[in-house]
């Protein structure tokens, strides 16, 4: 009681408040407070998660979402696209069957071992077919494919695959050797010639689907191929309410996700590792020659969640390491296990608080980093409380007094670092990246809540552990050689046990370390300054900005390398439209001697051949047309001639054939040529095959004197000719094709109309949407999602029914400026004008009622043409109450969608200027147009990201200074902490830019900003304890300033150095586990945490104590700002240190000279 009265007499108001609470509740009912409190916390977490379930954002590109104007407008546009009509307007449109498409694409790439091969090789195509056949034979695949209607079933069986078209089944009539048709099922034994396969693909319009962009058919080789499968399932009718449509689509997506997770993904992921069912590398004598990549609806989400789940398992390993270290430090299973539990509970509790405050339910991938980070930060608080609890034996006697003393001092010390670390995370609220703001706020909540939980419930556990678990801990202490001796009960509070009897004691390790550091303090400070200066210079020289989209997966992962390979093909959205019909599953084989007139659509001519004698280069066969009475009426007849020959150009062969016609029949009055499908000549006995070009020439000539009604000719140049029916007569040998071609020489070849050369491939071009009739009302919220229902509305003054509005919209498409670099467009107004004229109406429509009626019919039946094919007109229009309220148009531009920031911003500026000028010159009923593009969003986000990073860094440093000033009330100590933090930031920048060689991108910015809290923590601990009133006894206050600095520095290192080292050890241990994660964001941030923790603890234990020993405040907290005298004494002290260093250097130099 006397001790408590003495304590209350000298205590501050905060100390009295803490003492009152501690003595009344935790000290009297420790078990109840801890157990009941933890149960309440877990109950609150369970209730919060049930009421506010969270979703995981698997697309890391969403982490680049900003609150800049382009991002807000883009979000509003995308949300408005999903609300182009309400249920009433949907029923006004003509009823149509609606389908849900589920597309998957598989890309094949030759492995390095097979780099000399060719994907067109029959053996490799057979491996592709065997793999795809295994896919299509899976029961779940068959079940889903059976849901498609008959006309759409070829999309999934056999799918759109180059191998299926290259190895078709052949239908051979009885007694024949030449097939009559193909069946594109991939079950053929021999491959069709490459030229024929490509021609078939071109005729079906699927060559852009399976072949890479820029494929050169003359090269006859490729390293990549793509197969695409579509499951087109009936959903509902357009008459059905939107609620029913969404419900059916939701059920279909649920079934699809089951198929993806249980069937498709396991098989494809095994294939990507080279584990192919039915393929044994030992039996085949080589590994699987292909690398397989894949994509489709739900694939990215599944792989991200799968990878994230695997990485989070490592979080369990990190927690196991922390648990072991806690056991080592506390020597208590109770404190270690329950302390770690409280640390872990802070994460879900932070989500509940975060969701309740902001209303946001979506957690980004980076938020799961908290499971790794909070363990290290929370361990720091545990170490502080356990160390102060052990030290309380020397300060107080009763348990109540000890708990009160520990609660105040440990709480104050841990609150200083926790609050400053949390503030560094909260400083991310200044970032332009909205997800980064949310992540910073969430991590700040985690840091503060872990302090609240441990401060509330951990201290009673220390009392329980000492009362009930001492007997269990003593054997462990003896086994581990527990350092130190139990406190002396006779020692006075405030004195150490070893000096209670007045006997001089041996200096401790910490005191010896401080003494050595005092001797080398100048060297340590100069070396640190030079290293920091060199680090900052090196970082400044090597700064590079990465303007690309960051990838969170390893380089060889399907979501990284797979996207690169699939990116070599045209976008499926452009070449595989939802309304495209299924390709043909069969094709007829044509005969070379059939002149029915329908051969232009033939894919391949095929004949049984024989070896032709080499007496002449070419041999022709002729068949006269039957003489009829009708033929006798005309003075001219038709002649057709087909040439099977290799030629260097169409012009040369045409000139040669035309000369023959003129020599044989005179001048022709009609002349045409047609390039037909190639002719496959197969010599059945030997199996030899030749594929030759086939060209048909048609001429109208004067009727010969013989009375012929015309004839057909077949000419073969080469070593093979077809076996023709008996009515084909062999002609006398003709002239040499080669000699005539040489005679033609280099005469002119008909040129082609020059087209503008675009720089960017079609599949890589960015897309710009221009919106008419909608205004964006949404601003940006600091945290949480905005209400998208109120984010946009229709412009009241905009009226597309007005004739001038129709004229203005049409002129917008027809008068685009050249600097916009538009390569293609989808302008609904152009197709609407054609639709109106086709109905016999005048353009523009003059009456609003007429416009509404025609527009409704256009939305039901009309199509808008674009480069990728026709699209339903209703996709471009918003309708309310039977009236078209708004619309948009799409433009592809000759700028890559991955273009750099400067290029993209320049292009965006041109569009801004054009739209501004257009809105000024058009009528009022047409104004209000604006543009949006995903390219603009990304470019402006990167531009703002760099500038906001500098702002956030400054805010963090200022807040760290103010936070330290608030706890120590000494600007000098606060300045020392800021200087140490700047040094760590310089070292961290050097690590990121020079050692790791990373360019500055979103992940690197996160690393620079977020982990400044780590750079502050340990230095703040040391500086805070340096300024503690307990650091110097009353008897030492009159000592020399240098002795007081030594005492304060030694006290700080002795009292908090162990906790700081323990915290650093646990943080390093957790970050090591991050290095083994699959997600690159975890790997990178793990390396950064490792580096910043090591640099921070070294800065806190070496340079910072050296600065405190040199010019640390003697009486910190007495004045907020140092006086001029203090500043002058500090300068004198520094100069004196330099003089002493110089004197020592001269003495060492003298001794060395004497020794020599």
- How many H-runs (helices) and E-runs (strands) does the chain carry? 38, 25
Given pLDDT bands bounded at 50, 70 and 90, which one contains residue 10?
Answer: low
Q: What is the mean pLDDT of residues 617-646?
A: 82
Q: What is the pLDDT of residue 490?
A: 37
Q: pLDDT tens, 150-160? A: 888 999 988 99
- Asked if pLDDT for residue 661 goes beyond 70, the answer is no
Q: Answer whether 110's CB lies under 8 Å from 127's CB.
A: no
Q: Name the more confident of 1106 and 245.
A: 1106
Q: Which residue has the higher pLDDT, 442 or 869?
A: 442
Instruction: Give the SS3 label for residue 755.
Output: coil
Per-residue pLDDT of 819-829, as tens digits, reads 898 988 888 89
Of 52-66, 230-244, 1029-1043, 1059-1073, the one with minimum mean pLDDT is 1029-1043
Dihedral (Cα; 814, 817, 819, 824), 10-degree rounding:
-10
Is residue 494 within 8 Å of 367, Cβ to Cβ? no
pLDDT digits (tens, 9 = 90+) for 878-910: 888 888 889 999 998 989 887 888 888 999 999
Does position 738 have pLDDT exceeding 50, yes or no?
Answer: no
Which candidate, 50, 57, 48, places its Cα nearest to that of 347?
Answer: 48
The confidence score (pLDDT) of residue 338 equals: 92
> Does 97 score more than 50 pLDDT?
yes
Cα distance between residue 37 and residue 25, in whole Å: 12
In this prediction, residue 347 has a pLDDT band, given cuts at 50, 70 and 90, of very high
What six digits make up the tokens of 764?
């890589």
Judge contact between 989 and 1008, C-beta under 8 A.
yes
Task: Tell me the pLDDT of the chain averaged across its residues.
Answer: 80
Is the CB of residue 778 less than 8 Å from the CB of residue 434? Answer: no
Closest residue by Cα to residue 218 from 198, 201, 204: 198
pLDDT-based confidence at residue 678 (cuts at 50, 70, 90): confident
The pLDDT value recorded for residue 889 is: 92
Residues of the chain with pLDDT > 90, as a percent, come to 15
Is the confidence at residue 273, as pLDDT, over 80? yes
Give the Cα separation of 600 and 470 in Å (integer).
96
Q: What are the Cα distances from residue 951, in Å, to 21, 945, 947, 958?
A: 41, 10, 7, 11
Cα distances (angstroms) measured from residue 531 to each of 227, 746, 1016: 56, 72, 19
Contact indicator for 610, 723 with CB cutoff of 8 Å: yes
Per-residue pLDDT at 871 exceeds 90: no
- Is there a contact between 187 and 180 (Cβ–Cβ < 8 Å)? no
Taking only the tens place, the pLDDT of each residue in 1014-1057 is: 677 788 888 888 887 777 765 565 567 888 888 888 988 888 88
Using CB atoms within 10 A of its CB, is residue 631 exposed (0-12), middle (13-18) or buried (19+)? Answer: middle
Is the pLDDT at 961 greater than 50? The verdict is yes
Higher pLDDT residue, 733 or 537? 537
Q: Which tokens hold the place of 725?
A: 């029916």
The answer for residues whose C-beta is within 8 angstroms of residue 157's C-beta and 6 or more apart is: 136, 145
pLDDT at position 488, please? 39
pLDDT at 551 over 50: yes
Chain centre to alpha carbon of residue 1102 = 41
Beta-sheet pairing, 636-644 with 711-717: parallel
Nearest CA among 753, 597, 605 for reference residue 672: 597
- In total, the chain counts a number of residues equal to 1156
- How many Cα atoms within 13 Å fall on the side-chain side of residue 683? 12
Mean predicted confidence (pLDDT) in 336-343? 92
DSSP string for 837-891: HHTT--SS---HHHHHHHHHHHHHH-EE--TT--EEGGGGEEEETTEEEEEEEEE
Cα–Cα nearest to 426, from 853, 782, 767, 830: 782
Residue 772, phi then psi, degrees to nearest 5: -125, 130
Tokens representing 662 are 């003129």
* pLDDT confidence of residue 495: 40
pLDDT tens digits, one per residue of 26-58? 888 888 888 898 999 999 999 999 999 988 887
Adjacent-strand bridge partners of 433? 66
pLDDT score for 781 = 73
Model confidence over 161-195: pLDDT tens digits? Answer: 999 998 898 888 887 888 888 888 888 888 888 88
Q: Which long-range contacts (CB under 8 A, 24 or more apart) does 1043-1047 make?
A: 1044/1114, 1045/1108, 1045/1109, 1045/1110, 1045/1112, 1045/1114, 1046/514, 1046/515, 1046/518, 1046/1109
State both tokens at 781: 């919220």
- Please compute the mean of the pLDDT values over residues 861-866 and round it to a whole number: 67
Element (H, E) at 1154: helix 1124-1155
Answer yes or no: is pLDDT of 455 > 80: yes
Judge whether residue 1090 has pLDDT over 50: yes
CA dist., res. 370 & res. 373, Å (int): 5
- Cβ neighbours of residue 1060 under 8 Å, at least 6 residues apart? 380, 1017, 1018, 1021, 1022, 1097, 1100, 1101
Element (H, E) at 1136: helix 1124-1155
Mean pLDDT of 443-470: 88
pLDDT greater at residue 675 or residue 864: 675
The Cα 459–Cα 414 span in angstroms is 13
Confidence bin at 624 (pLDDT 50/70/90)? confident
Q: What is the pLDDT of residue 651?
A: 64
pLDDT of the residue at 86: 60
Lowest mean pLDDT among 116-120, 864-868, 1054-1058, 1068-1072: 864-868
Please compute the mean of the pLDDT values over residues 442-461 and round it to a whole number.
91
**What's the average model confidence in pLDDT over 141-146?**
92
Answer whether residue 628 shows pLDDT above 70. yes
Nearest to 938 by CA among 874, 985, 895: 895
pTM: 0.72
Please say if the pLDDT value at position 486 is more than 70: no
926 pLDDT higher than 70 = yes
User: What kind and span of H or E run contains 641?
Assistant: strand 636-644
Highest mean pLDDT among 469-478, 483-492, 923-932: 923-932
pLDDT for the residue numbered 354: 92
The string of DSSP letters for 234-295 reads EEEETTS-HHHHHHHHHHHHHHHHHHIIIIIHHHHHHHHTT--TT--HHHHTS--SEEEEEE
pLDDT at residue number 727: 87
Taking the C-alpha atoms of residue 1132 and residue 282, their distance in angstroms, rounded to an integer, is 80
Query: Torsion angle of alpha carbons 168, 171, 177, 178, nearest 10°?
Result: -70
Instruction: Give the pLDDT score at 1021.
Output: 81
On whether the CB atoms of residues 89 and 881 are closer than 8 A, the answer is: yes
What is the SS3 assignment for 799?
A: coil
Sign of CA dihedral 1117, 1123, 1127, 1128: negative
Pick from 68-77, 484-493, 841-850: least confident? 484-493
Res 1117: pLDDT: 67
Q: How far apart are CA 508 and CA 984, in angstroms?
A: 29
The pLDDT of residue 704:
75
Q: Measuring CA to CA, which residue among 522, 526, 690 is closest to residue 1143?
A: 522
Q: Sign of the C-alpha dihedral, residues 1125, 1127, 1133, 1135?
A: negative
User: What pLDDT, in 10s, does the model give residues 302-330?
Assistant: 998 888 888 888 888 888 888 898 888 88
């Amino acid at each position: 009681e006397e001790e408590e009265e003495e304590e209350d007499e000298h205590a501050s108001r905060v100390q009295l408040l803490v003492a009152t609470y501690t003595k009344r509740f935790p000290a009297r009912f420790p078990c109840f407070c801890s157990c009941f409190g933890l149960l309440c916390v877990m109950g609150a977490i369970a209730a919060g998660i049930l009421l506010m379930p969270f979703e995981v954002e698997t697309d890391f590109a969403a982490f680049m979402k900003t609150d800049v104007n382009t991002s807000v407008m883009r979000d509003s546009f995308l949300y408005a696209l999903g609300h182009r009509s309400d249920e009433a307007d949907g029923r006004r449109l003509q009823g149509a069957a609606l389908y849900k498409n589920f597309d998957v694409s598989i890309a094949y790439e030759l492995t390095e071992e097979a780099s000399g091969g060719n994907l067109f090789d029959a053996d490799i195509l057979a491996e592709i077919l065997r793999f795809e056949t295994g896919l299509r034979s899976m029961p779940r695949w068959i079940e889903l494919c059976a849901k498609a209607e008959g006309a759409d079933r070829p999309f999934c069986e056999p799918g759109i695959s180059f191998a299926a078209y290259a190895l078709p089944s052949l239908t051979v009539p009885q007694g024949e050797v030449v097939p009559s048709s193909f069946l594109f099922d991939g079950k053929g034994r021999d491959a069709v010639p490459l030229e024929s396969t490509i021609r078939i693909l071109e005729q079906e319009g699927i060559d852009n689907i399976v072949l890479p962009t820029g494929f050169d058919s003359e090269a006859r080789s490729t390293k990549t191929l793509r197969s695409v499968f579509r499951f087109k399932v009936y959903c509902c009718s357009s008459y059905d309410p939107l609620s029913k449509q969404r419900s059916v689509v939701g059920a279909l997506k649920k079934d699809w996700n089951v198929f993806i997770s249980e069937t498709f993904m396991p098989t494809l992921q095994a294939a990507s590792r080279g584990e192919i069912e039915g393929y044994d590398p030992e039996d085949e004598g080589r590994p699987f020659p292909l690398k397989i990549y894949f994509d489709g609806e739900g694939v990215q989400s599944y792989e991200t969640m799968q990878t994230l789940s695997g990485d989070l398992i490592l979080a369990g390993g990190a927690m196991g390491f922390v648990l072991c270290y806690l056991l080592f430090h506390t020597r208590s299973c109770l404190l270690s296990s329950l302390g770690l539990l409280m640390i872990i509970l802070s994460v879900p509790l932070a989500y509940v608080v975060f969701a309740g405050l902001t209303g946001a339910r979506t957690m980004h991938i980076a938020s799961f980093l908290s499971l790794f980070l909070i363990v290290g930060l929370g361990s720091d608080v545990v170490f502080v409380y356990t160390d102060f609890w052990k030290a309380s034996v020397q300060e107080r006697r009763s348990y109540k007094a000890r708990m009160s003393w520990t609660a105040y001092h440990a709480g104050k010390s841990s609150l200083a670092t926790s609050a400053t670390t949390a503030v560094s995370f909260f400083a991310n609220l200044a970032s332009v990246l909205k997800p980064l703001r949310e992540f910073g706020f969430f991590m700040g909540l985690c840091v503060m809540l872990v302090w609240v939980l441990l401060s509330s419930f951990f201290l009673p556990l220390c009392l329980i552990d000492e009362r009930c678990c001492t007997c269990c801990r003593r054997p462990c202490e003896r086994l581990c050689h527990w350092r130190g001796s139990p406190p002396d009960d006779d020692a006075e509070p405030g004195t150490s046990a070893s000096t209670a009897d007045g006997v001089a004691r041996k200096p401790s390790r910490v005191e010896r370390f401080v003494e050595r550091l005092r001797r080398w303090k100048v060297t340590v400070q100069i070396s640190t300054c030079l290293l920091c200066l060199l680090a900052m210079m090196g970082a400044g020289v090597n700064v590079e900005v990465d303007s690309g989209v960051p990838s969170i997966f390893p380089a060889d992962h399907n979501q990284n390398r797979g996207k690169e390979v699939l990116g070599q093909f045209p976008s499926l959205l452009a070449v595989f439209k939802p309304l495209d019909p299924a390709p043909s599953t069969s094709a007829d084989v044509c005969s070379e001697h059939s002149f029915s007139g329908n051969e232009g659509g033939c894919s391949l001519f095929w004949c049984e051949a024989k070896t032709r004698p080499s007496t002449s280069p070419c041999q022709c066969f002729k068949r006269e047309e039957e003489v009829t009475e009708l033929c006798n009426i005309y003075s001219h007849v038709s002649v057709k001639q087909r040439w099977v020959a290799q030629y260097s150009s169409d012009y040369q062969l045409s000139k040669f054939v035309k000369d023959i016609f003129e020599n044989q029949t005179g001048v022709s009055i009609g002349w045409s040529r047609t390039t037909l499908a190639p002719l496959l000549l197969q010599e059945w006995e030997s199996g030899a095959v030749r594929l030759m070009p086939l060209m048909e020439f048609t001429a109208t000539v004067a009727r010969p004197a013989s009375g012929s009604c015309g004839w057909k000719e077949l000419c073969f140049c080469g070593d093979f000719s077809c076996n023709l029916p008996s009515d084909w007569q062999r002609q006398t040998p003709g002239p040499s094709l080669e000699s005539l071609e040489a005679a033609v020489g280099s005469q002119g070849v008909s040129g082609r109309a020059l087209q503008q050369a675009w720089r960017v491939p079609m599949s890589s071009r960015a897309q710009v949407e221009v919106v008419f009739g909608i205004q964006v009302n949404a601003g940006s919220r600091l945290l949480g999602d905005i209400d998208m229902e109120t984010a946009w509305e229709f412009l009241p003054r905009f009226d597309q029914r007005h004739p001038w509005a129709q004229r203005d919209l049409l002129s917008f498409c027809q008068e685009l400026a050249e600097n916009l670099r538009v390569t293609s467009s989808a302008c609904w107004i152009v197709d609407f004008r054609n639709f109106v004229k086709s109905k016999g109406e005048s353009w523009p429509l003059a009456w609003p009622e007429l416009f509404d009626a025609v527009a409704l019919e256009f939305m039901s039946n009309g199509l808008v043409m674009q480069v990728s094919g026709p699209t339903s007109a209703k996709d471009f229009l918003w309708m309310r109450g039977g009236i078209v309220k708004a619309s948009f148009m799409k433009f592809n531009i000759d700028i890559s969608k991955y273009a750099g920031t400067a290029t993209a911003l320049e292009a965006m500026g041109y569009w801004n200027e054009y739209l501004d000028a257009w809105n000024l010159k058009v009528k009022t009923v047409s104004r209000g147009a604006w543009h949006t593009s995903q390219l603009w969003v990304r470019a402006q986000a990167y531009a703002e990201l760099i500038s906001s990073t500098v702002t956030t860094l400054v805010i963090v440093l200022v807040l760290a200074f103010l936070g330290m000033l608030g706890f120590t009330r000494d600007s000098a100590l606060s300045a020392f902490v800021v200087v140490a933090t700047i040094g760590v930031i310089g070292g961290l920048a050097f690590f990121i830019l020079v050692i790791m060689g990373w360019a500055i991108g979103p992940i690197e910015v996160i690393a620079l900003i977020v982990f400044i809290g780590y750079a502050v923590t340990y230095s703040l601990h040391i500086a805070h304890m340096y300024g503690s009133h307990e650091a110097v006894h009353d008897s030492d206050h009159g000592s020399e300033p240098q002795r007081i600095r030594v005492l304060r520095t030694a006290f700080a290192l002795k009292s908090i150095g162990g906790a700081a080292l323990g915290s650093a050890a646990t943080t390093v241990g957790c970050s090591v586990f991050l290095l083994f994660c699959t997600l690159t964001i975890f790997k990178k941030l793990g390396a950064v945490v490792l580096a910043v923790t090591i640099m921070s603890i070294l800065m806190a234990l070496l340079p910072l104590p050296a600065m405190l020993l040199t010019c640390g405040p003697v009486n910190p907290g007495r004045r907020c700002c140092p006086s001029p005298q203090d500043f002058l004494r500090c300068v004198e002290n520094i100069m004196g240190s330099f003089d002493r260093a110089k004197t020592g250097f001269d003495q060492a130099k003298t001794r060395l000279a004497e020794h020599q």
